[in-house]
Amino acid sequence: MHTSRNLLHAQKACTRYRSVSEVGLPEAVLRHSQRNYATHNRNVQIQNREHPALQQSANISHTMNGKAKQLLCPKVRSVSFIQYRGNQTQASVTTTPVFDNSALKYEHMHTLPFSSAMGAEVTGVDLSMFSDSDIDSSCTWSDSHKHDVFQEIRQALFRHKMLFFRNQVNLTHVHHQHFASLFGPFAKDAYPSTIHGCEHVKPVIKEAHTHVRMVFGSGWHTDSPFLAGPPHITTLRSVCVPPYGGDTIFANTSLAYSTLSETMQCVIEPLMVRMSLKDVLAQAQVDAGDDETTPLGRLAATKYKGVSADVLQGVRGTLHRLVGVHPVTWEKALFVDGTYTAGIDGMSDLESRAIVVFLLQHITQPAYTCRLRWEKDMLVIWDNRLCIHQAMNDYDGHRRELYRTTNRCV
């Protein structure tokens, strides 16, 4: 009797709403009961056929009171329908195209894709060519050649999500800061520590004698998402690298979103996720050591020095859309990580944990990642809106010295 009542409610929900996006999360959950009702009481025909890309596709025919309704299948990628045949609606279901990380041809540089999922190496560019005199107060470039080179770098970044440049031997802190400034105003840095004369270049250093279980950047994360205005672009430059280990792994959150089922996309799209510094602060106080020259060491020092207003605000955290839309490429991407994600707004810890754990496992599967082996004098750029990353802590006894900038795009 209880099951029949659920099925009746699901049937009523089906006639009231045209799509899951109009329903929201609770009604989306009822789709499971709706499909059970359809299986037992309607003529539902599903014929699977092979797709050349993902091997997942289906054609669905379904009778639904003479009205077109959106049918969702958890094993498909997109739905299109608009046909009436008397009392029958036909819905065709197709898969999302395979992600294209191939190289484009540029006039001033070359790109070499780093993996099928994301990333590319850029050659033919010396980043020290950029200076603070390239753009005046009216945002006009003084050198058209430099402008064209930067526009190609920017275009390649949005295409590949992460770029790296080897052998940037002429790139000083000053050059690094000048180049990063071209992407937009510098973002607020949640881990303040500056280089003399270059206030926006931040050291990320682990000394050879440092033995800690937690290093800066370990764990899957996007940079400083607990801020109300988190950074869009991050650059990281190597000065000293260990002979082995210390790699950075990236995962494409746009590709991960596009390969979710239509049902899951509809369920998570309206959700808001809370990003907080709380767990990182608690872990740093236990595992980060007492070296206050490092970002995590300064966090660890709060256990006896007290918590500043900025850190307290980071602990409170900020709500962001779980599914973001990139303003340039219009790609949808997941905004969730394994370090700062504190929960989903309006859900219990148990409910939100199930979704967050699933999404993180989905994002970080090997097919959606690439692993960068650092070299001396390398500069890496990535877009935090389209990927997450983590640093490996597997080089004890060796020094690793990097320098970081973060920017908000305009």
Predicted confidence at residue 374, as pLDDT, reads 98
409 near 233, Cβ under 8 Å? yes
Q: Is the pLDDT of residue 256 over 90?
A: yes
What domains can be seen in the chain, in order of their start residue?
Answer: 2-94 (no CATH), 110-407 (3.60.130.10)
Predicted confidence at residue 195, as pLDDT, reads 76
pLDDT band (50, 70, 90) for residue 400: very high
Which has the closest alpha carbon to 89: 114, 113, 69?
Answer: 69
126 near 140, Cβ under 8 Å? no
Angle at 50 between CA 44 and CA 56, to 5 degrees: 70
Least confident of 200-209, 375-384, 396-405: 200-209
372 near 196, Cβ under 8 Å? no
Q: Diameter of the chain by CA atoms?
A: 77
The CB density around residue 8, as the number of other CB atoms within 10 Å, is 12
Q: Work out the average pLDDT over 22-43.
A: 41
pLDDT band (50, 70, 90) for residue 56: very low
Q: Is the pLDDT of residue 306 over 60?
A: no
Q: Is the pLDDT of residue 18 over 50?
A: no
Q: What is the mean pLDDT of the chain?
A: 76
pLDDT by residue (tens digit) across 330-367?
999 999 999 999 999 999 999 999 999 999 999 999 99
Predicted confidence at residue 65, as pLDDT, reads 37
Q: Is the pLDDT of residue 300 over 70?
A: no
Helix, strand or coil, per DSSP, at residue 356: helix
pLDDT band (50, 70, 90) for residue 211: low
d(CA 322, CA 49): 32
Predicted confidence at residue 253, as pLDDT, reads 98
Predicted confidence at residue 295, as pLDDT, reads 53
251 near 383, Cβ under 8 Å? no
pLDDT by residue (tens digit) across 154-197?
999 999 999 999 999 999 999 999 999 999 999 987 665 667 78
Task: Considering only residues 59 and 236, tell me which one the structure prediction assigns the higher pLDDT.
Answer: 236
Q: Work out the average pLDDT over 33-40.
A: 41
